[in-house]
Chains A and B, each alone.
Chain A
Amino acid sequence: MNDHAQTPSSPPVPTRQVALIGNPNTGKTTLFNRLCGLRARTANYPGSTAEMRIGRCDRGDQKLEIVDLPGIYGMDLDLPESRMCRDCLDGRLEETPDAILVVIDATAPARGISLAIAAIARRLPTVIALNMADLAARRGLSFDEDALARRLGVPVVAISGRTGRGMDSLIGALQTAVPGHAVLPLPSATNRERKAWIDEAIAGSMGGHDAVGSSRDSVYDRLDKAFTHPILGLVVFVGVMGVLFWTIFSLAGIPMDLIDVLFEKFGGLAAEVLPAGSIRDLVVDGIIGGIAGTVVFLPQILILFFLLALLEDTGYLARAAFVMDRVMCRFGLPGQAFVPMLSSHACALPGIMSARLVPDRDDRLTTILVAPFMSCTARLPVYVLLIGLLFDGSPWLAGFAFAGCYLLGAAAALISALIARRTILPGRSRPMVLELPAYRRPSVRNAILVSWDRGMVFIKNAGTVILGIVIVMWWLSAYPRAETPDTAIALRADAAAIITTDPALAENLEDQANRLELNAQQSGSFAGQIGSFAEPLFAPLGADRTLTVGILTSFLAREVFVSSLAVLQGGGSDVDDDESVLQLVRDARRPDGSPLFNTATAASMLVFFVLAMQCLPTLAVTRRETGSWKWPALQFAWMTGLAWVLSALVFAVVTASTAT
């Protein structure tokens, strides 16, 4: 683990590895970001799916590698994060760290000192950082760091992770720290004895304790009462989340469009440069298209995590967790699960990634499993198409059907969570006890670093899997190459003949030829052949071969369903013009002359698209977040199985009711 870096021009400078520990809400991550900035990466703990951030902090000759361990309340608790800290400090994960940095909240030091005692007892060089010293000073608290250092037998440095105060002293102390030598309460000491020792240490080194409280606390009391009130708290929560998602929707669209245009141009450029053939198709449609399909998710992820980091920093999220806990606990989910569930309405990818807000592993896994049930934006074009077919000319009914789709998705998510908690992830949820952090102004710098980190994790891990999937899906739909249909050749010949006399008609004929060619390619490709093979599987849902191909291609992404149908019916792949696609699909016929969509088929397809797991990138992110293919496989099987059963039921019921 220890990295003894060498350069040819300088003598070897040992890099000290420092384990960063502290209670939650002590500003540990802010301090880590202050020390390491962008020189940090996220890695998995060996043998587990939990993440740790490792960063480098180099100041001149002083080189530190800092490992940010999860926030813990106690070293000896039977919780995964406590076990992880114990394992790391005892060298059971890799090598024992060279030093421990314990972060203590200077405004409430007692708990932090208790953790520090447990850390110092490990006989490793230890340094105590009294964080938020500036906030403590504003509250009238004062410290004698030397007195506390003498008491604990290790260096104590007053710092502010937010402003950067005390960083040089802290780094210096970490370089020179040695194991503590003071007489501390023994591990066998009772809680009362330990508390008495800590109270004495605080009394001898801190002043102004009585200034804490007063008018600030009365404001906090009122805010807490409002934010956790059963009705007012819910109103505030809906408002905050509304603003959050409105911001994501309105801001993310711009860079997403820009990414689309940029990659389109880039693809066009590559198509011009490369000679026609398989390599060009692979580069343009497979690789560039695949990268575009991955990077396009990035704006939503970055904005969501930036806003969530700001919100978490204000202290509001802990209160909001209690508001939603009243609802969520009935379904075996904690209050924190609401943010991932709500985020999934924009896109399941950032939704699943934000499930890390849920502290308990089983709660988190349950949240990840069910979050994709929430109707994401990719489902909207399909909803528009199918609801348009079902309730054409009845805007009220169409509106209710839209709301019904969202409700069906949410209900399926909650009921599935309940089933998961009673079957595959049994056991009680972690007791809902949270520290309510002080309200404070959020740090924009910290939020930027957090969102950058999440973006990089997405690109490096999930992004590579998504790229691979996109390339495979492209290959399945592009090969084997189909012969150009004779009608398309004839249309092109006609177009060439009239290009000078009637260019508009020539262009129209050329478009028709292209559509026919696309249709032939899609039908003859491996994906098309699989569609033919899978037709009996989807027949109980009322799907014929065309619809089956549409369903299968939509496993790449749901919105592909609409363009696939348009293409298969001889229309263009451009789905911007909803009306023309709707008309095209409405007029579409099966080989026997019956409509492609009757009421029963449209209803069953709608239910299928609300519930089915048809997003391979989501499965890739689930794999990334759970550390195993078992969970995405289960997610796929459960969601798609449920969708199939309910769709078949809907098809049977609607068919029977319309026949009578």
Chain B
Amino acid sequence: MTFQPPQSTPAPPSVETANADTLDALISRTDQPAGQGERRPLTLCPSGCRATIHTDELDLDARQMLEAMGVEHGCEVEICKVGSPCILRIDSTRFGVGREVAARITATVTATLNGSPLPG
């Protein structure tokens, strides 16, 4: 298999239905929407946003399991779907998180789809 060296400036991963080419146009990291930077329950984050998640309010079992799965405290995820379950994506791996666990995870939104303001 031919090895292609990694690009020096990787593009951000896709969000919702956007493909990689249109992401830069869709995701605004510079125009911070109101409420961005605050910790809020994962279940109150908008679908399609990117967020840093905080698992420190979970019990040890759930936290360790999430960590082993690669969903670590402080890692950035894409929130593909909010509800029951919440669907998170890290790289190309998707995780379903049941309502009970999702309710105890908080997140800091770092980028919303198209820079739209956060609800609430």
- A432 near B65 with CB under 8 A, answer no
The reply to whether the CB of A326 lies closer than 8 angstroms to some CB of chain B is yes
- B14 near A217 with CB under 8 A, answer yes
Bound-state CA distance A428–B62 (Å) is: 11
Bound-state CA distance A432–B97 (Å) is: 6
Give, as a whole number of angstroms, the nearest-CB distance from B26 to chain A.
Answer: 12
Bound-state CA distance A459–B83 (Å) is: 44
- A195 near B72 with CB under 8 A, answer yes
Residue of A77, A111, A145, A224 near B87 (CB, 8 A) is A224
Give, as a whole number of angstroms, the nearest-CB distance from A316 to chain B.
Answer: 12
Give, as a whole number of angstroms, the nearest-CB distance from B62 to chain A.
Answer: 4
Give the one of A137, A142, A436 with max B CB within 10 A. A436
The reply to whether the CB of A620 lies closer than 8 angstroms to some CB of chain B is no
Bound-state CA distance A212–B20 (Å) is: 9
- A213 near B64 with CB under 8 A, answer no
A91-111: contact bitstring with B at CB < 8 Å (1 yes, 0 no)?
Answer: 000000000000000011011
Contact (A435, B3) CB under 8 Å given A111-B70, A210-B11, A217-B14: no
- B1 near A137 with CB under 8 A, answer yes
Closest to B68 in A: A74
- B65 near A431 with CB under 8 A, answer yes
Contacting residues of chain A (421-443) with chain B, CB-CB under 8 angstroms:
430-436, 438
Residues of B within 8 Å of A108, CB to CB, are 91-93
A215-250: contact bitstring with B at CB < 8 Å (1 yes, 0 no)?
Answer: 101101110110010100000000000000000000
The reply to whether the CB of A306 lies closer than 8 angstroms to some CB of chain B is no
Give, as a whole number of angstroms, the nearest-CB distance from A160 to chain B.
Answer: 12
The reply to whether the CB of A143 lies closer than 8 angstroms to some CB of chain B is yes
The reply to whether the CB of B96 lies closer than 8 angstroms to some CB of chain A is yes
Contacting residues of chain B (1-58) with chain A, CB-CB under 8 angstroms:
1-7, 10-11, 13-14, 16-20, 58
The reply to whether the CB of B115 lies closer than 8 angstroms to some CB of chain A is no
Residues of B within 8 Å of A434, CB to CB, are 95-96
B48-89: contact bitstring with A at CB < 8 Å (1 yes, 0 no)?
Answer: 000000000010011011111111111000001101110101
- A215 near B19 with CB under 8 A, answer yes
Residues of A within 8 Å of B17, CB to CB, are 218, 221-222
Give the one of A143, A195, A326, A431 with max B CB within 10 A. A431
Closest to A198 in B: B70
Closest to A111 in B: B70
Residues of A within 8 Å of B81, CB to CB, are 221, 224-225, 228
Residues of A within 8 Å of B91, CB to CB, are 108, 110, 209, 212
Residue of B4, B20, B61 near A431 (CB, 8 A) is B61
Residue of B3, B84, B97 near A207 (CB, 8 A) is B3
Residues of A within 8 Å of B68, CB to CB, are 72-74, 77, 111, 114
Give, as a whole number of angstroms, the nearest-CB distance from B22 to chain A.
Answer: 10
Closest to A105 in B: B93
Q: Which segment of A9-17, A317-325, A630-638 sits at the interface?
A: A317-325
Bound-state CA distance A413–B92 (Å) is: 39
Contact (A322, B85) CB under 8 Å given A435-B93, A436-B96: yes
- B14 near A433 with CB under 8 A, answer no
- A209 near B3 with CB under 8 A, answer no
Residues of B within 8 Å of A326, CB to CB, are 84, 99
- B2 near A221 with CB under 8 A, answer no
- A207 near B5 with CB under 8 A, answer yes
Give, as a whole number of angstroms, the nearest-CB distance from A394 to chain B.
Answer: 42
Q: How many residues of A contact B (CB 8 A)?
A: 58
Bound-state CA distance A74–B7 (Å) is: 30
B88-118: contact bitstring with A at CB < 8 Å (1 yes, 0 no)?
Answer: 0101111111111100000000000000000
The reply to whether the CB of A653 lies closer than 8 angstroms to some CB of chain B is no
- A142 near B87 with CB under 8 A, answer no
Bound-state CA distance A466–B56 (Å) is: 51
Contact (A224, B80) CB under 8 Å given A144-B3, A214-B19: yes
Residue of A107, A142, A436 near B2 (CB, 8 A) is A142
- A73 near B94 with CB under 8 A, answer no
Contacting residues of chain A (355-407) with chain B, CB-CB under 8 angstroms:
none
Residue of B6, B11, B18, B61 near A218 (CB, 8 A) is B18
The reply to whether the CB of A652 lies closer than 8 angstroms to some CB of chain B is no
Closest to A228 in B: B85
- B6 near A214 with CB under 8 A, answer no
- A77 near B92 with CB under 8 A, answer no
Closest to B62 in A: A431
Give, as a whole number of angstroms, the nearest-CB distance from B48 to chain A.
Answer: 9
The reply to whether the CB of A257 lies closer than 8 angstroms to some CB of chain B is no
Contacting residues of chain A (171-193) with chain B, CB-CB under 8 angstroms:
191-192
Bound-state CA distance A72–B58 (Å) is: 21
The reply to whether the CB of A492 lies closer than 8 angstroms to some CB of chain B is no
Residue of B61, B66, B74, B95 near A436 (CB, 8 A) is B95
Residues of B within 8 Å of A137, CB to CB, are 1
Bound-state CA distance A210–B112 (Å) is: 20
Contact (A207, B96) CB under 8 Å given A73-B68, A214-B14, A224-B87: no
The reply to whether the CB of A502 lies closer than 8 angstroms to some CB of chain B is no
Give the one of A217, A434, A435 with max B CB within 10 A. A217
Residues of A within 8 Å of B1, CB to CB, are 133, 137, 142-143, 145, 158
Give, as a whole number of angstroms, the nearest-CB distance from B93 to chain A.
Answer: 4
Give, as a whole number of angstroms, the nearest-CB distance from B52 to chain A.
Answer: 13
The reply to whether the CB of A139 lies closer than 8 angstroms to some CB of chain B is yes
A-B contact pairs, 27 of them (CB 8 A): A74-B64, A108-B91, A111-B69, A142-B1, A145-B1, A191-B73, A207-B4, A210-B10, A212-B92, A213-B13, A214-B19, A218-B18, A228-B81, A228-B83, A228-B85, A318-B96, A319-B96, A322-B84, A325-B98, A431-B61, A431-B62, A431-B100, A431-B101, A432-B97, A433-B97, A434-B95, A435-B95
Chain B residues within 8 Å of A, Cβ to Cβ: 1-7, 10-11, 13-14, 16-20, 58, 61-62, 64-74, 80-81, 83-85, 87, 89, 91-101
Add 17 more A-B contacts to A431-B61, A433-B98 (CB < 8 A): A73-B68, A74-B68, A78-B64, A139-B92, A144-B3, A145-B1, A207-B4, A210-B10, A217-B14, A218-B17, A218-B19, A228-B83, A431-B101, A433-B96, A433-B97, A434-B95, A436-B96
Top-4 shortest CB links A-B: A432-B98, A74-B68, A207-B4, A73-B68
